[in-house]
Chain A
Amino acid sequence: MSALVEIHDLSKVYERGKQRVEVLHHVDLMIEEGEFLALMGPSGSGKSTLLNLIGGLDSPSGGTLEVAGQRIDRMSEDALAKWRAARVGFVFQFYNLMPMLSAQKNVELPLLLTRLTAAQRRRKASVALELVGLAERAGHKPSELSGGQQQRVAIARALVSDPTLLVCDEPTGDLDRQSATDIMMLLQQLNRDFGKTVIMVTHDPRAAEYARRILNLDKGTLVENGVLAAASARTAQPEYFT
């Protein structure tokens, strides 16, 4: 497998008024295409910042960041927006669906940026919803869906434009155990069966165990970089959270 993400000497500094906070310190990291990576660490360790940088939501203060052969740290805001639309699918802790749109229309949102016709957009969104097992709830609004179902819609939205990379920020953080298990199984399936590279931030070690590799950050520095040997075994234990 080739490297999908290559990070060298990456740092991120936030300036809040007179305060200067260095959140990431000279991080080096390589993520292979098709990996399922979990980023863990205490609050404020910089894991979400690292995820945001990899997903092109923020720009680094120093170092280089290359994703799929493209130096995204050098991209303008508009170029990054186009890059995200084509390359990255995002899954958030609180789903971040548009409350006034149906599940179907939420999934179609990223496709508005393409040249697809309305019929093509509908068809692709239906396929994505079917993939996450929610085809029959396509017409429902987020408020009419459970948390787990909303997260499935969010995953369908992340998938619909067929991105290379799935970036997940605490995807099970707001879910009950059964729903969390279902979501992790789904992400694992997308990684295993569809070859999607998944990078996930989580606090939950049980969710992290679905990943093939776990990285720990502490105070902006990678402190551990190891392959989880037991990860493959998780696929046979969907009841893990129960």
Chain B
Amino acid sequence: MKYLQLIWATLFRHKTRTFFTLFSVMAAFVLFGLLDSVRSAFTGASNNVAGADRLITTSKISLTLSLPKSLLARIQAVPGVAATTYANWFGGIYQDPKNFFPSQAVADNFLDLHPEWELPAEQRRAFHDTRSGVIVGASLAEKFHWKIGDKIPLQATIYPQKDGSNTWIFDLVGIYQVSDPNLKGQENNFFLNWDYFDEARQLDKGTVGYYVLKLADRDRADAVAASIDALSADSDHETKTESEQAFTAAFASQFGDIGLIVEAIMGAVFFTLILLTGNTMAQAVRERIPELAVLKTLGFSKRSVLMLVLAESTLMLVLGGLVGLGLAGAVVGVARTAMPAMGPTPLMVPVGASIWLRGVLLMVLVGLTVGALPALKGMRLRIVDALSGR
């Protein structure tokens, strides 16, 4: 600790340069926080269904392939399944493709299996009674200034109507809310009646996109998933039953290998960061060779000089990194609320202890890496040569 003041003073000797470098480090760790939040969401979404109380059954081949509705009764009959519902991805566009939000046709009991979506009883009844009725999340309603009673036209991207029209007009009959701030992104969903959708669509009648089932005992998730998939084994519609997290991850992966993309971006960011801060540290130490020589003259050992330079580079990374990760935490918090959740699980996890731990380790690692060469140079300098400017 007694060296901290010396290290601190040295670090801020060239304030402008240090602030620019700190800003770069901060920006890199904001990105790290955001990307690791996404990566963690995907990593957590493994195929391990143990402990889940809701499972999702989709086509084993592709999420885009439908399953027969006749499977519903058979899934419901599997021991350990408490309730089953189903839905289809509708994929409608409101006014402009950039106004993206998830829109799905859901069975009448879909909300029974999702108690986290809170809908007043009379609106629930209206949804049941109105064929063209839809319910939307409060965030989505607020975004487009919708209110109950509004007619909302959507352009179909997958399912035209029987008459060939791509325009579907719905009646807004309910607005649900989600209390859990971590699941606030789910307030961006748009649900229409599956019966109406199935009757009005031109294609794939009698098929569903995926089933959602509630387990009687979450400890039996593995066995139940295996039993359900066994129902369709060797058929033309083999299924894959997985956790909601895995389903969400698989859904998002349709747009690309998210994990690989995230890791590639993080790699590029940190490679650039190492070059940038490494260059800064090298320059800073080069300018301070006579000062390091003075320290050695006063009796600082080679090891002390090495540690001082390493501590300086690590302090720089830790300072910028902590601010960056803090900002990332705030951004993720906002994004999780504002971003539409494409499935039942958000695509970002909060910047929690594990991300902080990885982040701090990365700060120290990068700090030591960028400080290593300058520190070795400082350690090895010959006092007499350095003092005489050789």
Contacts and interface: CB of A to CB of B under 8 A. Distances in A.
Interface of A: 52, 55, 57-58, 77-78, 81-82, 84-86, 90, 92, 96, 98-101, 105, 109-110, 112-113, 118, 157
A82 B387 CA distance: 19
Nearest to A113: B299
Given A81-B301, A100-B10, 5 more contacts: A57-B384, A82-B301, A98-B294, A109-B6, A157-B298
B177 to A, nearest CB: 56
Contact of B296 (A52, A81, A112, A157): A81
Interface string B368-386: 0000000000000011100
**Interface residues of A: mostly helix, strand, loop or mixed?**
helix
Given A58-B384, A96-B294, A118-B2, A113 B300 contact: yes
A57 B383 contact: yes
Interface of B: 2-3, 5-6, 9-10, 12-13, 290-291, 294-304, 382-384, 387
Contact of B290 (A90, A96, A105): A96
Contacts of B9: 98, 100-101, 105
Contacts of B300: 81, 85, 113
A58 B387 CA distance: 12
A100 B13 contact: yes
A96 B387 CA distance: 9
B5 A58 contact: no
9 contacts: A57-B384, A78-B301, A90-B297, A98-B9, A98-B294, A105-B5, A105-B6, A109-B6, A112-B3
Contacts of A81: 296, 299-302
**Interface residues of B: mostly helix, strand, loop or mixed?**
helix
Given A81-B296, A84-B297, A92-B387, A99 B302 contact: no
B295 A109 contact: yes
Contacts, number: 65
A122 to B, nearest CB: 12
Contact of A57 (B297, B303, B304): B297
Contacts of A99: 13
Contacts of A98: 6, 9, 291, 294
B57 to A, nearest CB: 66
Contacts of B303: 78
Contacts of A78: 301-303
Nearest to A84: B299
Nearest to A90: B297
A57 B9 CA distance: 26
Contacts of B383: 52, 57-58
Of B9, B291, B299, the most chain A CB neighbours within 10 A belong to B299
A52 B298 contact: no
A17 B351 CA distance: 56
Contacts of B294: 92, 96, 98
A55 B294 CA distance: 13
B293 to A, nearest CB: 8
A100 B294 CA distance: 14
A113 B305 CA distance: 12
Contacts of B384: 52, 57-58
Contact of A113 (B291, B298, B387): B298
A96 B383 CA distance: 13
A143 to B, nearest CB: 12
A110 B299 contact: yes
A85 B13 contact: no
B91 to A, nearest CB: 61
Contacts of A77: 302
A31 B297 CA distance: 22
A55 B383 CA distance: 11
A178 B29 CA distance: 55
B15 to A, nearest CB: 10
A101 B288 CA distance: 14
Contacts of B304: 113
A82 B291 contact: no
Q: Which 6 A-B pairs have the closest CB atoms?
A: A85-B299, A100-B9, A100-B13, A96-B294, A81-B301, A84-B299
A52 to B, nearest CB: 5
A84 B383 CA distance: 12
A55 B296 CA distance: 12
Nearest to A53: B384
Nearest to B1: A118
A178 B382 CA distance: 34
Contacts of B2: 112, 118
A57 B294 CA distance: 10
Contacts of A157: 298
A58 B383 CA distance: 8
Nearest to B294: A96
A135 to B, nearest CB: 20
B301 to A, nearest CB: 5
A61 to B, nearest CB: 13
Contacts of B290: 96
Nearest to B5: A105
A112 B295 CA distance: 11
B13 to A, nearest CB: 4
B386 to A, nearest CB: 10
A85 B294 CA distance: 12
Contacts of B298: 84-85, 90, 109-110, 113, 157
Nearest to B293: A96
